[in-house]
Amino acid sequence: MNISIHPLGDQALLIDFGESINEETNQQVRQAATKLDEQKPDWMIEYIPAFSTLTILYNPYYIAKKIRSQELLPYEWARTKVLDLLSQSSSYHSEERTIEIPVCYGGEWGPDLSFVASHNSMSEEDVIDIHMKGDYLVYMIGFAPGFPYIGGMDKKIAAPRRDDPRLSIPSGSVGIAGEQTGVYPIETPGGWQLIGRTPLKLFEADRDHPSLLQAGDRIRFTRIDEAEYKHLKEGEQ
């Protein structure tokens, strides 16, 4: 393992697990996050996992009082604690959650499905098939509340962003941008090609876990029809 730790300003440190985006590196990030969840260090404010890094926000004043040392910098102390934590073996075993996301593909729910199909010289049914068969991993949540960065889409259904971004994309929209697929948790402007919509609420502030998805989740897209969409949507309200 090639791990390095760097200060991010004077109240945060960043653990770098390697530069590239791949499942192994991302799994190391998750392992470290799980250890932090288990141990809940009192000097930590929160952590932010990303593709290949984990950032820890800490309270330097709290650490200074705790260690009662004039010489030792709180950052250096926290860094040692983090190295300790990383070297410990963990009870973590890759127990992954698989979250099923029901999608009503095409029609008014996915107005760009036909574009994605013709762009890749295939039928709409082929696009849906390939999209559903993908093996997807949530690498991180960012950009907007509950927005998942998803890896694993088949390049065969890749499609460029729209030239004229929509001013408003409804929440739950499932789209494709380049070689990525994604789901919009909240209504937002955007240039993704929309192929369907899910009735699930990906983000809700008042839930115990506001974000439906978390880093490390596997996703499976399943197909529902309009009637099921409406039925499930009512259940979500």
Partner 1 sequence: MISVLKSGLMTTIQDTGRYGYQKDGVIVSGAMDQQAHRIANLLVGNSVDAATMEITLMGPVLEFQEDALIAICGGNLTPIIDGDSVSMWKPLYIKKGSELRFGQPKKGFRCYLSISGGFQVRKVMGSASTYLRANMGGFEGRTLEKGDQLRFGQPDSLPKDSKEQLKTLNKATSFKEASWFVGPEFTDYMKNDQPIRVMPGREFDLFTEQSKEHFFNGAFQIDSKSDRMGYRLNGTTLNLENKKDIVSEAVTFGTIQVPPDGNPILLLADHQTTGGYPKIGQVATVDLPRIAQMRPGEKINFSPISHEEAQHLLLEKEKNLKQLQRGIETKLF
Residue ranges binding partner 1 (CB under 8 A): 6-12, 14, 19-21, 33, 45-53, 55, 57, 60-61, 64, 73-75, 140-147, 149, 185-186, 203, 205-206, 209-211, 214-215
Judge whether 13 and 68 are in contact, CB under 8 Å. no
The three-state secondary structure class of 75 is: helix
Quote the least distance from Cβ 26 to partner 1, whole Å.
11
Quote the least distance from Cβ 72 to partner 1, whole Å.
11
Residue whose CB is less far from partner 1, 110 or 172? 172
User: Any alpha helices (H) in 12-164, and if so which ranges?
Assistant: 23-39, 60-67, 74-87, 113-119, 124-133
Measured CA distances, 103 to 27, 69, 194 (Å): 27, 57, 11
Measured CA distances, 135 to 63, 121, 131 (Å): 43, 22, 9
214 DSSP 8-state letter: -
Residue whose CB is less far from partner 1, 167 or 205? 205
Quote the least distance from Cβ 60 to partner 1, whole Å.
6
- Report how far residue 145's alpha carbon sits from residue 184's, in angstroms, rounded to the nearest whole number: 9
Quote the least distance from Cβ 47 to partner 1, whole Å.
7
Residue whose CB is less far from partner 1, 73 or 99? 73
Quote the least distance from Cβ 156 to partner 1, whole Å.
24
Residue whose CB is less far from partner 1, 203 or 229? 203
Residue whose CB is less far from partner 1, 148 or 199? 148
Quote the least distance from Cβ 203 to partner 1, whole Å.
7
Measured CA distances, 81 to 68, 76, 88 (Å): 16, 9, 11
Residue whose CB is less far from partner 1, 6 or 133? 6
Q: In angstroms, what is the C-alpha Rg of the chain?
A: 21
